A and B are shown apart, each in its own frame.
Chain A
Amino acid sequence: MNYVFQFGIVRDHLPELLNGAWLTLKLSVGAFLLGFVLAVVLAFLRSNGPRAVRVAVGAYVELVRNTPFLVQLFILYFSLPAIGIRMEATTAALVGMALNFAGYGTEILRSGIDAVPRPQIEAGHSLGFSRLEIFRHIIVFQALRTVYPALASQFVLLMLGSSIVAAISAEELTAVTNSLQSTTFRSFEFYFVATGIYLAMSLASRLALHGIYWFVFERGQPTR
């Protein structure tokens, strides 16, 4: 092996890489928020909607979970324009990530909803709460607490999976790395550093998500 590694050139382009990483982070957090809201709505419909709606939500969840994210992106970005729905690459990436996250999130929330003890829901009924009120005041918070670790892992998967949106040339970390390596011919060095940035981001977001759990669910509670 007589290859000489040159990481100096990566240092020169670090601001561009960090710019890409910033877009990765913005896309991930944005898709998480959008997808999460959608997942809560879908989870409510799945357990309370009319039969046809339940089936439709179930089908959506299965479709998202059993097809590759890359193909979902291609459908959004390349297929939809054929029926007149056009999006910019970054928008398509955000929408694709959010729709994908919503599919997994709905399934994750379902297990949390199932874990809420039935008597609590019956108690809500006997107090005259509507289904929506029961969902809002009794189920959601407890379900979220149960499934928080799963949702947090899903966020990290969402962020790592976002590298795939480079395939429709949304200018996030992977796409920036791709174009830098193709002009500098230092592919190994650039991918190595970009991978390190992803690793740092996933470790940092695990830490942050841990902090959020404590802040939302444990702060001010007596220690058990």
Chain B
Amino acid sequence: MSRDFDWSAFVFLLGGLRWTIVLSFIAFAGGTIGGLILAIIRTSRYAALRALAAAYIGLIQGTPVLMQLFIAFYGLAVLTGVRIDPWPAVTLAFTMYAAAFLGEIWRGAIQAIPRTQWEAAAALPLSPAAQLRHVILPQAFRIAIPPTVGFLVQLIKGTSIASIIGFIELTRAGQLIVNVTFQPMIVYPIIAVLYFALCWPLSLAALRLEGRIDATLGVAQRP
């Protein structure tokens, strides 16, 4: 009693793809806020705060996302005492994950700005917050764009494991379709192609941006 992989099955996959995009977007937006805070803390002069942020990033980058997802899923269940929906656990886990990686990328971008820029801004004289906002961040932003887009690709691919705790995104939708059509040879390659269609343009964009920015920096840095 199986049905063939047909148009309606494909539409179902596209529905899953939509949730992959929504989840990636939410995690990226949340991660942007968290990552910016982490990056600023990591480049601040408060050693204790720096160490704390570094520990958080080390913890997230040193453990599997899947484990973080399980802990969020079962941890939330333990805290609230009820078995919860995968949705809050998945968004929480991927937001925390994105914050750590973006924070680390942006810390690098902020630190890539020459010391003299801080000094010049301080001499103007701008307050430390104004130095960061008007002088450092706009420059760091340009350096940070290519690796940030690169991370977005990693994030989109990463959301596939939300399927393991039953969140219905593209990969889970694919599994469900395989369960009724018994055609893994058709369905999984289509899933791969859909991810590829989403990620490859971003990868290319990251590459292109990298080239452009290297070129402009090269001009800017010539004495």
Q: Which residues of A contact B (CB under 8 A)?
A: 1-3, 62-63, 65-72, 74-75, 78-83, 156, 160-164, 166-167, 174, 181, 187-188, 191-192, 194-195, 198-199, 202-203
Known: A79-B188, A163-B67, A198-B62. A65 touches B75 (CB 8 A): no
CB distance from A175 to the nearest CB of B (A): 11
CB distance from B18 to the nearest CB of A (A): 16
Known: A1-B79, A70-B163. A187 touches B70 (CB 8 A): yes
B215 at the interface (CB under 8 A from A): no
Q: Is the CB of B81 within 8 A of A2?
A: yes
Q: Is the CB of A75 within 8 A of B188?
A: yes
Known: A3-B81, A67-B195, A188-B78. A75 touches B189 (CB 8 A): yes
Known: A195-B68, A198-B63. A167 touches B164 (CB 8 A): yes
With a 10 A CB-CB cut-off, give which of A80, A83, A164 has the most chain B CB atoms. Answer: A164
Q: Is the CB of B78 within 8 A of A202?
A: no
Q: Is the CB of A78 within 8 A of B188?
A: yes
Residues of chain B with a CB closer than 8 A to A1's CB:
78-79, 81
Q: Is the CB of B158 within 8 A of A68?
A: yes
CA distance A223 to B185 in the complex (A): 56
Q: Is the CB of B192 within 8 A of A199?
A: no
Known: A161-B64, A198-B62, A199-B63. A71 touches B191 (CB 8 A): yes
> Total A-B residue pairs with C-beta atoms closer than 8 Å?
120
Residues of chain B with a CB closer than 8 A to A74's CB:
171, 174-175, 184, 188, 191
Which of under 10, 10 to 19, 20 to 34, or 35 or more describes the interface residues of B?
35 or more
Stretch of B118-126, B141-149, B196-204 on the interface side: B196-204
Which residues of chain B (172-193) have a CB below 8 Å from chain A? Answer: 174-175, 178, 183-185, 188-189, 191-192
Q: Is the CB of B164 within 8 A of A69?
A: no
Instruction: Identify A160's interface contact among B64, B171, B203, CB under 8 A.
Output: B64
Closest-by-CB residue of B relative to A69 is B157
Q: Is the CB of B184 within 8 A of A65?
A: no
B59 at the interface (CB under 8 A from A): yes
Q: Is the CB of B199 within 8 A of A66?
A: yes
Instruction: Convert B121-162 into 0s and 1s, putting 1 for each residue whose CB lies closer than 8 angstroms to a CB of A.
Output: 000000000000000000000000000000001000110110
Closest-by-CB residue of B relative to A3 is B78
Closest-by-CB residue of B relative to A202 is B62
CA distance A163 to B63 in the complex (A): 10
Residues of chain B with a CB closer than 8 A to A78's CB:
178, 184, 188
B12 at the interface (CB under 8 A from A): no
Residues of chain A with a CB closer than 8 A to B160's CB:
68-71
Known: A78-B178, A199-B59. A71 touches B171 (CB 8 A): yes
B29 at the interface (CB under 8 A from A): no
Known: A71-B195, A79-B184, A82-B183. 15 other contacts (CB 8 A): A63-B196, A65-B203, A66-B199, A67-B199, A68-B157, A70-B160, A79-B188, A81-B184, A160-B63, A163-B66, A164-B66, A187-B70, A187-B74, A188-B71, A191-B74
Which residues of chain B (43-85) have a CB below 8 Å from chain A? Answer: 59, 62-68, 70-71, 74-75, 77-79, 81
Residues of chain B with a CB closer than 8 A to A191's CB:
67, 70-71, 74
